[in-house]
Every structure is written in structure tokens, then in C-alpha cells.
Structure 1
Amino acid sequence: MKDLANCTLELNGVRLEPLGLQHAAGLRAAAADGELWKLRITSVPEPHETDAYIQAALDMRPSRFAFAVIDATSNTVIGTTSYHDIVPAIGRVEIGYTWYARSRQRTSVNTSCKLMLLSHAFDTLDCAVVGFRTDNFNYTSQAAIERLGAKKDGVLRHHGLRRDGTVRDTVMYSITRGEWPEVRAHLRYRLQRG
């Protein structure tokens, strides 16, 4: 899979750039918009954990590549998203570790980010499939993934640890290369409609 270290993408006033420690203050502010670390079903860092969160993402390379999500007009960090579970040998990548400031949720930001990441995965990285996963109780995330056009693959039972120490089931989704043209058209249509 091609190197992602210099990958910057921009669409619809949203820019994705490689996440680094220089984004820490912006990520802290984004997380504070809604106190997102208090949500049981997310991996949003508490303010004092932000530097460690970013460093952990950097340490996971090459199996994870994290992006800062930037409002291109104001140059403000509004969240983060990642490619992860990158498996070049079979052309598979997942998109996840995604969260946005509360004020940016339910806007065109997520659709714009997913269109950029899916386009890059299928059209540049030549992926065969792009996966998504979420907590079985994160109904908002499941609905957002389904609105993208991803198909539900199934549920991995007793699969991951939540921040509160409980064990979650993980709901798995994917989009295949053959489905990509229709999904791309759908996402572009959604952005045009606002």
C-alpha cells in the first residue's frame, strides 16, 4: 500500500492531514466541545490524555494512520479519523477512530471525510474492501455507517474493552470495490443536497 505519511486530502471545506503532536491543543478543544470523553462508547481522550492519545496513534503505524480533521476555512482542528487494520497484501483497510466536536456532528463533515477517505482507499490505494466497526451500543455510529451505504457484515461477540472496563460486541461493516461507484454517487448526492 502506498505511503500515507504525506497524504493530505481536502473537500468541501474540510482538510485531512497527518495527525501529529502539533494538533494536541486543537484536539483537546474539539473533545471539550461536548465533553466527548464522557461517552462510554467512544475512545475520545480526556484533555490530559490527548498527547498520549496522539502518540499511541503514531506508534501504531503502519497498521494505523491517523488524520487530524481540520476546518479549512478557520484552520481549526475539529476531530480525528484514521485508516486502521491496514492489510496491504489483501487490499483491505478500515476507517475508524473517528470523532468530531459536538458542534460538527450531524453536519456535512462526516460525509466529506468519508468521501475523501473512501476515494483515496479505492482510487489511489487500490483497496478491494474498506471496513468499518463500532460498539454494539453506539447506535448513532451504526446509523451513520449505514447512511454511507456500507453493508453490515456481522457482530463479533465479546470483542473489545470499553474505557469503563466492560467488554463490547463489535458491529462490522464494509464496502467492496464493486459497490464503490454507487456509494460514491450517493455520497456526492448527499453533499450536493446539503
Structure 2
Amino acid sequence: MNALLANFAPMTLELNGVRLEPLGLQHAAGLRAAACDGELWKLRITSVPEPDMVEAYIAAALEMRPGRYAFAVIDTATGAVIGTTSYHDIVPALDRVEIGYTWYARSRQRSYVNTSCKLLLLTHAFDTLGCAVVGFRTDNFNHASQAAIERLGAKKDGVLRHHALRRDGTVRDTVVYSIVRGEWPEIKAHLRYKLSRD
């Protein structure tokens, strides 16, 4: 087995009041509540499940292993599930992973939560898994997501035209970003600095 895949044992990561733990059906009620905070499934540019589809959403994420490792995002102070995120599109031959399938309850958006989660996942990807590159993708009309990815320090690689279906049946263009290993030390220092000021 490739070293990258071998290191994808079930893991829990924690920082700054946020815990990432392997997503499972035990998180369904909490994930449903997070989706209802802002009725996020009504946004055409995201893949947030409707409340009655949360169990199916979790089951689909679990079935995608080993190509996807999904996490529940937990507020450590309250134990509440506040969102989800994943490693996905894992390419061991290239030491490459992507971070995506990310969404948070509306009340937690534009807060320390995303920076904390990305610092956890990027640190684990580069410093533990030994990744050479970490990628990100988002809908071309999801300007908030693009801005959040760019605030991390990721570089825009380009746009995949007519790339994926949205929930409403329209076809989106996908904006692609990445961080390569040589950029990671400076990005890590910057993310830590941002969290120290939040």
C-alpha cells in the first residue's frame, strides 16, 4: 500500500475549540441542525443535503472511501456538530489530496472555524501524510468560497469548463486552486497568525 493511503487511518484532529472526527451516522442529527442553520440546502451552488437526506449524505460519503475521508466538525465547547469537511480525490502516486465537501452552519461562517479546520487539515496533509500538493475546488458562482480559499493563500490553477452538475441540474464551471509543499511553511505561519488575532 502507498504510504499516503497507509497513513489515512481514522483520525481525530483538534485545534482552537474545533474538533474534526470521522463522520458517521451518529452525527446525523447534529449535521441536520447545522444544515437548518441558514437553510443551506436552498443554495444552488453548494451540495448541502436537505434535512431528510442527511443520513443518505453520510452514507454516500462513507461509501467513497478510500477516495474520500469525511469529518464532522465539532464545537468542542458544546459538542455541537457545526459542519463537515473532507479529504477527497486522493492520488497516492502524486502524493496529492484535495480538501472539499466543506460547509458550516451559517452562524459559523466567516469565523475562526474555517481557518482552524483548514490549518488542521493542511498541517496533517503536509506534515504527517507527506503530501506534495493539496487542492481545492469550488463552483464558479460560489464567490464566498473562492474568497475563503484565496484567504488561505492557495493559488488559482484555472477553471474547468462545463465540469459538474449542480443540484438544480445546471452544469457548473469549477474553479481549481492548490497549495504546493514549498508554499506550506509560509502559509502555515500566516494561518497561525490569523488565528492568534481572531
TM-score bin (small chain): over 0.9
User: How big is the shift at 1:5?
Assistant: 3.8
Q: Determine the structure 2 residue equivalent to 1:81.
A: 85
Q: How many residues align?
A: 194
C-alpha contact 2:95 2:131 (8 A) present in aligned 1: yes
Question: Distance in 1 between the 2:7 and 2:31 partners?
Answer: 24
**Aligned residue in 1 for 2:102:** 98
Give the counterpart letter for 1:168 in structure 2: R
Query: Who is 1:155 aligned against?
Result: 159
1:188 matched to 2:192: yes
- Alignment partners' CA distance in 2, 1:157 and 1:68: 31
Deviation at 1:88, TM superposition (A): 1.1
- CA apart distance, 1:12: 0.1
1:23 aligns with 2:27: yes
% identical equivalent positions: 81
Residue matched to 1:139: 143
Contact 1:155–1:171, Cα closer than 8 Å, also in 2 = yes
Q: Quote how far apart the aligned CAs of 1:4 are.
A: 2.8
Check the 8 A contact 1:30/1:100 in 2, yes or no: yes
Q: Which residue of 2 aligns with 1:44?
A: 48
Return the alpha-carbon distance in structure 2 between the equivalents of residues 45 and 188 of structure 1.
32
1:174 maps onto 2:186 in alignment: no
Secondary structure of 1:51's aligned partner = helix
Which of 64, 67, 70 is the equivalent residue of 2:71? 67
Q: Over aligned residue pairs, what C-alpha RMSD do you find?
A: 0.6
SS of 1:43's equivalent in the other structure is: coil
SS in 2 for 1:83: strand
Q: Matches of 1:158 and 1:116 in 2, distance apart?
A: 32
Letter in 2 for 1:69: V
Q: Deviations over 1:138-187 (max 9, x none)?
A: 00000000000000000000000000000000000000000000000110
Question: Residues 7 and 129 of structure 2 are in contact (CA less than 8 Å); yes or no, is this contact kept in structure 1?
Answer: no
Q: Deviation digits for residues 51-72 of structure 1, max 9, x if unmatched?
A: 0000000000000000000001
Name structure 1 gaps, 5 residues minimum.
none
Shift of 1:3: 3.8
Q: Distance in 1 between matches of 2:54 and 2:93?
A: 32
